[in-house]
């Protein structure tokens, strides 16, 4: 008596199941479904299924088909999926957590990242080969306004911004001040990276903080050792920037050690953020349009943008939590057009104070023509002035009085 081998066992060990099913279908077409089922050790239902598939799709219909559901019950709806793709393309540097919070996306962060990977929308970030010391817990214990970091950023090396800068005559440098504890941000923009603009920026920011009832005693203004902050490297006296800071009681100007760039981590971090979130994604139609957009971004950064490194709080949340007496006006200083403000100062404007080395005289203005005026030290300007204007005794007397 021969052993009975089932259709399932035959298919499991068959090297070509499609060919076996073809023979089954051909036998069924010639002799009927029931005789084919008995001959091939299958059920009538199985024979009927393969005959139907063969009649619909031919030889290809005899191959195994996936048993996965066509419409998965956990599948993301198309409208939500398209929205996730759209917001990522609009803000390529934003994380899944931030876009989920801003746009109220009803998906998990893992699902959002999965969709981005399927659409090749995730950019590989540069790896940090040097381990950073996490000082968040230490800085969180500091007093509010205990330290303010100030630095400059070159904007002409941003590929997305450079063509617009050339076409619309937009600023080439950004001056940034950031309060370390809360992350409060202030910015200014100019066409030069100079001691004059840095001093003007610091003066306006400090006066704004004082007018908002911020406690700046004692406070350290920390910068690097750039010439826009310390002046000449071999200067015998404090720079104009240092003098401006020290005019406020209990304020000190501290510089970081040479090459210790991590000391300015807070302000360098915001430079990376503003490049990723603003300069790489925004376009401008004019200089006025640029300042309108950067004002909106700075206001959003100070009062609405949650910082995951500060327990998900905004700068204003931290300030109000630490000192409820401070006015919300503290977050509303717009980005400063330092070019315009300096011209107003030089021509006798009323918005900022005069500095000791400003001489609003035609002789000084004439001596500065054709030079990178305010990058020179007082000695160089006066020496050039003396050599240029000593043709007559009257000019000699004038130059001697100024010196």
Cα dihedral 216, 182, 149, 138 sign: positive
- Tell me the average pLDDT across 200-214: 92
pLDDT in tens, 278-288: 998 899 999 99
The structural domain count of the chain equals: 4
- Are residues 292 and 172 part of one domain? yes
- Are residues 363 and 267 part of one domain? no
In angstroms, the CA 84 to CA 101 distance is 12
67 within some domain: no
In angstroms, the CA 22 to CA 53 distance is 11
Rounded (5°) CA angle 292-297-300 = 125
Point out which residues pair with 186 in neighbouring strands: 177
352 within some domain: no
- Helical H segments across 304-377, by residue range: 315-322, 338-346, 362-367
pTM for the predicted model, two decimal places: 0.65
- Are residues 253 and 211 part of one domain? yes
| Residue 137, pLDDT score | 79
Under DSSP, is residue 153 helix (H, G, I), strand (E, B) or coil? strand
- Strands 185-190, 173-179: pairing is antiparallel
277 within some domain: yes
354 within some domain: no
pLDDT in tens, 349-362: 455 444 444 444 44
> DSSP secondary-structure letter at 307?
B
| Residue 403, pLDDT score | 38
Range of the domain at 332: 145-339
Burial class (CB in 10 A: 0-12, 13-18, 19+), 58: exposed
Hey, what's the torsion of the CAs at 316, 320, 326, 329, to 10 degrees? Answer: 30
Q: Residue 330 belongs to a domain with what CATH number?
A: 3.30.420.10
CA distances, 85 to each of 160, 293, 358, 396 (Å): 21, 24, 54, 71
pLDDT in tens, 94-153: 888 888 888 889 999 999 999 998 888 887 665 554 555 667 778 888 999 999 999 999
> DSSP secondary-structure letter at 3?
P
In angstroms, the CA 260 to CA 299 distance is 30
């Amino acid at each position: 008596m021969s052993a009975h081998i089932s259709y399932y066992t035959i298919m499991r060990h068959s090297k070509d199941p499609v060919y076996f099913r073809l023979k089954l279908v051909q036998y069924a077409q010639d002799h009927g479904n029931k005789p084919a089922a008995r001959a091939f050790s299958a059920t009538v239902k199985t024979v009927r299924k393969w005959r139907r598939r063969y009649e619909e799709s031919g030889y290809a219909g005899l191959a195994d088909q996936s048993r996965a559901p066509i419409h998965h019950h956990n599948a993301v709806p198309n409208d939500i999926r398209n929205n996730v793709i759209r917001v990522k393309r609009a803000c390529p540097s934003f994380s899944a957590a931030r876009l989920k919070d801003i746009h109220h996306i009803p998906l998990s962060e893992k699902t959002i990242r999965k969709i981005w990977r399927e659409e090749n929308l995730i950019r590989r970030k540069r790896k940090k080969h040097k381990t950073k010391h996490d000082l968040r817990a230490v800085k969180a214990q500091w007093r509010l306004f205990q330290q303010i970091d100030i630095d400059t950023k070159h904007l002409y090396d941003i590929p997305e911004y450079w063509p617009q800068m050339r076409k619309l005559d937009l600023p080439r440098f950004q001056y940034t001040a950031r309060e370390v504890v809360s992350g409060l941000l202030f910015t200014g923009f100019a066409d030069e990276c100079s001691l004059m603009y840095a001093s003007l920026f610091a003066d306006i920011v400090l006066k704004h903080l004082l007018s908002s009832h911020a406690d700046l005693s004692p406070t350290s203004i920390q910068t690097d050792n750039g010439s826009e902050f310390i002046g000449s490297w071999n200067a015998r006296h404090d720079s104009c920037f240092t003098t401006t800071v020290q005019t406020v009681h209990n304020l000190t100007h501290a510089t970081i050690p040479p090459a210790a760039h991590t000391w300015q981590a807070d302000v360098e971090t915001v430079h990376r953020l503003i490049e990723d979130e603003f300069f790489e994604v925004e376009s401008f139609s004019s200089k006025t349009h640029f300042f309108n957009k950067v004002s909106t971004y700075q206001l959003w950064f100070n009062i609405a943008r949650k910082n995951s490194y500060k327990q998900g709080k905004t700068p204003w949340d931290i300030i109000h939590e630490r000192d409820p007496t401070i006015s919300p006006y503290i977050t509303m200083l717009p980005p400063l057009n330092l070019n315009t403000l300096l011209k107003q100062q030089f021509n006798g404007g009323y918005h900022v104070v005069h500095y000791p080395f400003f001489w609003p005289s035609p002789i000084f203005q004439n001596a500065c023509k054709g030079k990178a005026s305010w990058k020179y030290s007082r000695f160089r300007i006066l020496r050039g002035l003396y050599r240029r204007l000593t043709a007559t005794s009257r000019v000699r007397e004038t130059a001697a009085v100024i010196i």
